[in-house]
Amino acid sequence: MQGGAVKELFNVLTPRDAFERLESYLRGPRDTERVPVEQSLRRVLAEEIRSPHELPSFRRSTMDGYAVRAVDTFGASEGLPAYLTIVGEVLMGQAPTVSPTMAETVAIATGGALPDGADAVVMIEHTQEIDRSTIEVFRSVAPGEHVIQVGEDVHVGEMLLERGHILRSQDVGGLMAVGITDVLVATRLRVGIISGGDEIVAPDRQPGPGQIRDINSYTLASMVERAGHVPVRLGVVPDVYERLAQAARSGVEQADVLILSAGSSVSTRDMTAQVIASLGAPGVLVHGVSLKPGKPTILAMIGDTPVFGLPGNPVSCMVTFDLFVAPTLHRLSGGRGLPPRQSITARLTRNVASASGREDYFQVRVEQRPDGAWAEPVFGKSNLIYTLVKSDGMVRIDLDKNGLTEGEWVQVILF
């Protein structure tokens, strides 16, 4: 036993090295589809978008007031106002019908099109109407003042959004602004999920003696959904080699990515590893990661399909999904960097120890106190699902650290 444990220890990779070994096989996006911009929120852009025209396409006023030739206002003050003749009004959504010449002005509202001849706008607050056709101007304006120039928002041909960008609400608005109403995005990935274990029954069944309900395939399906992809639950498979192998082969055929949530015992984890190794080339890339919880994680490629063997307990399962599966889905969708992850900073309520040379994760509850956010560690056996339910997030202790100290600022990755 001692020899085996030592061998395993020497073979494990850091989480970063482990993911990089898998990452070299990942190219994205796999498939693309064209969708209406209205339905593109959170999708990954599969084309670069350049502006088809200038925005705005005409000079616009940013204030309610009067369009003027700036030169006509030079030197104007409360004591010595400039007198301008109102020669018309710009109507919203229409081209100006009149152009001011020397000492003339045109009434204009915010967003109105600046008439030819005018080069600035005087705010209505800095004017006084003398009669229907004359105003006094109390301040001078510089050429271009209170005006958005043609192309000031974006120029024709300007890069608006890069390939791999995840579309947000303001991107939807920005695309509409330049008349782009559909975009090419990465197709959502189908992620197959197999739960292994003789003791697992479906949640709607009454477990018999020694049996428990399936947790992981539902937690995983929900995490796949949260990542913007399509979970395909492929059922609970008993710890029988040929049954598991058959389910896995079928999973590789029908899904873009396959997750096997292994049983909890060492022998069923070994069976999962053997099944994955049997599926094809290039095969198992990583077996064991210097990570707690989550050490017995398996990362594999079968043809073009990433296959994950995740540990059976719920906490390990969530940690390893976040570390390995979520970045894989992101990369296969053509996304760059790491997938977006909600997190907050908080101070730790107490010391937490850790073994150096291993990346540790522990659960915390976040408390808002008058002096800011505090992260209170929630300890519990990692087999307990309600340790997770009662937590708000998790905190990482880096490989090279022996722990974290009370009062230290930490990043809480919110669940």
Residue 7 is a binding residue for a second copy (CB under 8 A): no
Residue 99 is a binding residue for a second copy (CB under 8 A): no
> Kind of pairing, strands 212-213 and 200-201?
parallel
Residue 260 is a binding residue for a second copy (CB under 8 A): no
The three-class DSSP label of residue 288 is: coil
Q: What is the distance between the alpha carbons of residues 249 and 194, in angstroms, rounded to a whole number?
A: 11
Instruction: Rule CB under 8 A: choose which of 144, 245, 383, 399 binds a second copy.
Output: 383
The residue range among 7-15, 77-85, 260-268, 326-334 that interacts with a second copy, by the rule CB under 8 A, is 260-268
Q: At what angle do helices 266-278 and 241-254 cross, to 10 degrees?
A: 50
The site string for a second copy over 54-73 (x = CB under 8 A, - otherwise) reads -xxxx-x-x-x---------
The smaller minimum CB distance to a second copy, of residues 109 and 399, is found at 109
The smaller minimum CB distance to a second copy, of residues 99 and 383, is found at 383
Measured from the CB of residue 148, what is the shortest distance to a second copy in angstroms? Answer: 6
Instruction: Rule CB under 8 A: choose which of 35, 87, 124, 230 binds a second copy.
Output: 124
Residue 386 is a binding residue for a second copy (CB under 8 A): yes
Instruction: Rule CB under 8 A: choose which of 76, 90, 271, 276 binds a second copy.
Output: 90
Which sign, positive or negative, has the C-alpha torsion 162, 165, 171, 177? positive
Tokens found for residue 39: 């339905």
**Neighbouring C-alpha atoms within 13 Å toward the C-beta of 48:** 6
Q: Taking a C-beta distance cutoff of 8 angstroms, is the pair 275, 287 a contact?
A: no
Instruction: Rule CB under 8 A: choose which of 38, 48, 78, 406 binds a second copy.
Output: 38
Residue 263 is a binding residue for a second copy (CB under 8 A): yes
The smaller minimum CB distance to a second copy, of residues 249 and 401, is found at 401
| Distance set, CA 244 to CA 135, 271, 285, 310 (Å) | 86, 9, 20, 14
Q: Taking a C-beta distance cutoff of 8 angstroms, is the pair 290, 357 a contact?
A: yes
Residue 152 is a binding residue for a second copy (CB under 8 A): yes
Residue 214 is a binding residue for a second copy (CB under 8 A): yes
